[in-house]
Structure 1
């Protein structure tokens, strides 16, 4: 029988000893190092996600404003939709009526009319009192002229024709400005270097046709040159076009960058649900700050507009009309943020969240037997829904988020509609799962 050899140190190059037993001290040291590495990893992830979240929150208001400006400046239809309500606003209509009436009355020389009348009476040998009475008619006559002009202008401004002219004029002018700023050169106004030119090609063709139809056959030989008229030299036109290009980039990619940063913040965080709650809450706070900023800018704008240029109520109507889509977008994001934070909280371990989930489970569990007694059988579909409730719930939320993402300019009402539909779908799915047949002794969902 061979004696047992003494255990020597393990061979560094050889295989590990399968019978090696870890001592309690070694195990404790291993656990300590493992916890230290986990803490360092967790702190690194938390620091990175916090930096991403801070960048996303700081960019959120700028992204909303950039998208709104780019949408309003570059899209003629959106711009016309923005300014169209001004034609029907009573304060704006009153300001336009007063401005036009003043211009018309200024061009009517009422004093010359009364002087001519007084001279005619004097030449005809009328009594001095009649001549003096004719001269004193200037003020009543001016008031009468103003009243007549005011009625006529008010009738025109309040009619549908003014709204149509207003929209068409804004459409043409905005399209011309966009063409000039983008340098596309396809509209009536085109920028060539630092010169803004008006294209008269269609006008020249129309004039040539009408002259030929009128019998001026020589007009057919009108040259095609000199079909532009220089409107003005714009030394800052290049900078304006550069700003337009930057605005196109910011308005398109800044919102995308903000969303990506927020998503990365949630993904890299150690606790995804908590970070989602924090991100949604922070976004809601930033949207509230943006609404406050819009109110402050409104006050500053109204204080800067002199009443002689625009009455205060008309100036307020102009500002509110121009920024209403920005305000609507901000409110929509605020509501979406609140809903997202609430949903993330309800999935957490808090006592109110657990109470809500328990009440929902009890309600659907109690409805299951009632539905089965009523003859409602969902079969394998109900079993599938009951076994995969987490997937169906997530799918319903994802579908609602996708609808809002694809919705063109969603409002608070659109968000409320989508949320109501999602809740209704979740309730129906829960009832279908509760009505599924149960094995003997199996509890409800």
Structure 2
């Protein structure tokens, strides 16, 4: 209905009533009020959705990492495999195994037997005293040989293969730690988390026995674990991780859906996209800071007598490196998204970038035309559908990152670089069409 007229109350369908100036002013006021109220409601709803998405973002990243590490055998093996080649961890295992083997070699009994044999044979007292003094050098020699043998096993390729094989067979070790079960390489007992090196001990035993150290077969079956850390909060962490594993698939989806709804609900879509991307970037930075704090807490909780600081740091860094990679990747994606949203805006730097890009692609297209290269109708189609082609390239880039298995920062840089190159190439092709090609079918060029 035309706001300037209205049906008369008692008239027919065609009767009209012209609004007075006061009525029209009231109508415009009510319409503006309704529009403002509608925008405020949309803005408030968008803010609520954005806050929920930002709060869920760090939890979603951690939950996805836990679920992925536990459920995917290859991913789990890739997580723990580097521990076998970490020098600090190797040093701990070598020292522990060497000490246990040497402790089972009764060097004193060997020197006592030699001393008694010399005494029974009537050897001079000086020879008997020299035999008694052999205990220290003999123990050092045994330690050196055992250390060399153990080092050869631990630093060799065979140990890494055994390590990967053991972890592949027990890929549920991380789940066992989080749930408190006692099977697998990682075991949680009360507030203590231990790393089981039983298979490594068995291999070292076999090598030492083959080398002539029969006493190595007496290495006790008990205490074949290395304490990683002790904490009174392990029970709470296990409960939290169980919950995160359950919702690991849905939390990331929910966070993305909430972010998308926040952008769609907001009156200014581009501005809200920029705000949302910036918020996600901030949350990823906070997650990296939290991981750094957790690392410090973990290192402080491990007594040096249980595990050297460098070995503890290597273990922590190895276990969370995929989580850090995912967090950095999302941080870079968020920054790029915010930057793209800004470049589409009315800001002076954004306009300058767009103008510079247009001048560059136009100059390149003119250079191609002067060289005799013209894109004709294809170029004119690209020029007339620039928004569609740009959106298609961006959508293809997003889809590539979504379908890529565990994208890294390098992958993001590659996809963004290719996308920018394609967009520039399309712009050059559009500029190379030439103004006369539009009349190619009806008029001479």
TM-score surpassing 0.5?
A: yes
Q: Does the residue aligned with 2:345 lie in a helix, a strand or coil?
A: coil
Bigger radius of gyration among the two: 1
C-alpha separation between the residues in 1 aligned to 2:99 and 2:72?
A: 35
* Structural mapping, 1:19-418, within 5 Å: 20-175=17-172, 246-418=243-415
C-alpha separation between the residues in 2 aligned to 1:354 and 1:332?
A: 28
C-alpha separation between the residues in 1 aligned to 2:308 and 2:412?
A: 36
Unaligned runs of 5+ in 1: 1-8, 189-238
C-alpha separation between the residues in 2 aligned to 1:409 and 1:371?
A: 40
* Contact 2:70 2:174 (8 Å CA) reproduced: no
In structure 1, the residue matched to 2:211 is none
Shift of 1:126: 2.0
In structure 2, the residue matched to 1:10 is 8
* Contact 2:66 2:245 (8 Å CA) reproduced: no
C-alpha separation between the residues in 1 aligned to 2:328 and 2:125?
A: 72
Q: Does the residue aligned with 2:97 lie in a helix, a strand or coil?
A: helix
Q: Does the residue aligned with 2:267 lie in a helix, a strand or coil?
A: coil
Deviation by residue 1:382-439 (Cα, 9 ceiling, x = unmatched)? 1110001111111111100100000000000000000000001001100100001214
C-alpha separation between the residues in 2 aligned to 1:376 and 1:260?
A: 46
Change (3 A) 1:286 1:22: same
Shift of 1:155: 1.1
Change (3 A) 1:288 1:150: same
Deviation by residue 1:149-186 (Cα, 9 ceiling, x = unmatched)? 1111111111111110000111122258869999xxxx
Unaligned runs of 5+ in 2: 1-6, 185-235, 440-445
In structure 2, the residue matched to 1:211 is none
The alignment's C-alpha RMSD in Å is 2.6
* Contact 2:376 2:437 (8 Å CA) reproduced: no
> Which consecutive aligned stretches of 4+ in structure 1 deviate over 6 angstroms post-superposition?
176-182, 239-245
C-alpha separation between the residues in 2 aligned to 1:425 and 1:141?
A: 73
C-alpha separation between the residues in 2 aligned to 1:94 and 1:32?
A: 79
C-alpha separation between the residues in 2 aligned to 1:264 and 1:117?
A: 85
Size of the alignment, in residue pairs?
379
C-alpha separation between the residues in 2 aligned to 1:357 and 1:24?
A: 46
Change (3 A) 1:360 1:291: same
C-alpha separation between the residues in 2 aligned to 1:180 and 1:83?
A: 14
Change (3 A) 1:329 1:46: same
Deviation by residue 1:191-228 (Cα, 9 ceiling, x = unmatched)? xxxxxxxxxxxxxxxxxxxxxxxxxxxxxxxxxxxxxx
* Contact 2:377 2:437 (8 Å CA) reproduced: no
In structure 1, the residue matched to 2:430 is 433
TM-score by length of 1: 0.80
Q: Does the residue aligned with 2:18 lie in a helix, a strand or coil?
A: coil
